[in-house]
């Protein structure tokens, strides 16, 4: 049997009965920032949305509007029309005076529509918190969210405006959810088999506290995908990137060997050229013997001529 919307809101700790839904109580540490999602009906897609401060609807103060940004920088608001959600962020300087706020849709001809949320501001660690409110994953993969808490009791994991998983396992919009409570003061929420539809705002739910978390699921790109697929015998196999790395290393080694071989060849050619030059130079040298002749003097020649021999 389907639950009446009002009953569902009560069970999940949401506020808003008709057209605007948000979380009832969110724990936050003084001085920190917090982002709150506000889900609205599709008929309000083009309406102005705003954040109002104060417990009383009739006397709350305008803080920031989608058509009028906050000049103080303390508040911001963004409308995601395709998702029918606008988020409000309250930045830093939170104290125990910042407790009650309204997510409101402005109605041109009629009473504005909105939902109240309460901030439980603490000086120490919040009663329920996460390390970060934004987490992302890829289609087909898994993600894990750590929901830290300081009180005993069962916790559930919910999607804003949808359903919850209570206990150890379940599913939300076709995505498998498991909750591990073995670690002291930590609930480990795992979402596996992620799909594009798994994107959206979720929250850790531990009564009476809530902690919103935004999940973004995208497709893997070729640069992100760490495997190469091919078909063999009708079966799909995955080739690890290690094969590509090995081939790259092989190419580098072969290139290094080629460079080494060329340098060695160049060195050998250079040595051979030097040897040929030396031999050629030696072959062109001509050797000759030089004999010195002593020419007799004129007097000696005369004496030899004038000598007479007689018997």
90 and 30 together in one domain:
yes
87-109 per-position pLDDT tens digit = 999 986 677 666 899 999 999 88
The per-residue pLDDT for 280 is 47
Write out the residue range of the structural domain in which residue 155 sits: 127-224
Same domain, 120 and 152: no
pLDDT value for 233: 45
Number of domains in the chain: 2
Single out the residue in 95, 124, 153 at which a domain terminates.
124
Domain final position from 174, 195, 224: 224
Which of 66, 97, 124 is at the close of a domain?
A: 124
**CA torsion 96→23→203→36, rounded to 10°?**
-60
Q: Are 161 and 212 found together in one domain?
A: yes
Average pLDDT value for residue range 191-203: 94
The pTM (predicted TM-score) of the whole model is 0.65
In a domain, 236, yes or no: no
Segment 61-88, tens digit of pLDDT: 889 999 888 878 889 999 999 999 999 9
From 66-70, 218-222, 238-242, 255-259, the region with the lowest mean pLDDT:
238-242
Please tell me the predicted confidence (pLDDT) of residue 165. 94
Co-location of 158 and 186 in the same domain: yes
Most confident of 6-20, 69-83, 205-219: 205-219
253 belongs to a structural domain: no
Tens-place pLDDT, residues 158-191:
999 888 999 899 999 899 999 998 888 999 999 9
Closest CA to 211 of 142, 134, 144: 134
């Amino acid at each position: 049997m389907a639950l009446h919307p009002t009953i569902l809101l009560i069970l999940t700790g949401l506020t808003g009965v008709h057209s605007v839904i948000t979380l009832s109580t969110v724990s936050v540490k003084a001085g920190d920032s917090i982002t709150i999602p506000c889900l609205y009906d599709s008929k309000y897609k083009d309406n102005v949305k705003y954040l109002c401060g104060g417990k009383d609807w009739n006397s709350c103060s305008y803080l920031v509007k989608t058509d009028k940004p906050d000049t103080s920088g303390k508040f911001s608001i963004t409308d995601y029309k395709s998702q029918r959600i606008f988020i409000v962020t309250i930045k830093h300087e939170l104290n125990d005076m910042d407790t009650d706020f309204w997510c409101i849709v402005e109605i041109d001809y009629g009473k504005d529509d909105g939902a109240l949320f309460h901030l439980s501001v603490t000086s120490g660690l919040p009663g329920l918190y996460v390390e970060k409110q934004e987490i992302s994953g890829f289609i087909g993969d898994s993600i894990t969210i750590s929901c830290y808490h300081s009180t005993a009791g069962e916790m559930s994991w919910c999607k804003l405006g949808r359903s919850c998983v209570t206990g150890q396992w379940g599913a939300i919009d076709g995505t498998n959810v498991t909750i591990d409570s073995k670690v002291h003061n930590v609930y480990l929420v795992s979402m596996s088999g992620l799909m594009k539809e798994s994107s959206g705002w979720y929250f850790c739910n531990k009564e009476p506290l809530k902690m919103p978390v935004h999940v973004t699921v995208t497709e893997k790109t070729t640069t992100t995908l760490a495997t190469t697929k091919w078909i063999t015998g009708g079966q799909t196999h995955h080739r690890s990137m290690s094969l590509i790395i090995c081939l790259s290393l092989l190419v580098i080694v072969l290139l290094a060997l080629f460079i080494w071989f060329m340098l060695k060849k160049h060195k050998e050619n250079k040595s051979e050229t030097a040897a040929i030059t030396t031999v050629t130079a030696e072959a062109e040298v001509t050797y000759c013997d030089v004999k010195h002749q002593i020419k007799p003097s004129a007097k000696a020649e005369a004496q030899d001529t004038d000598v007479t021999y007689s018997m």
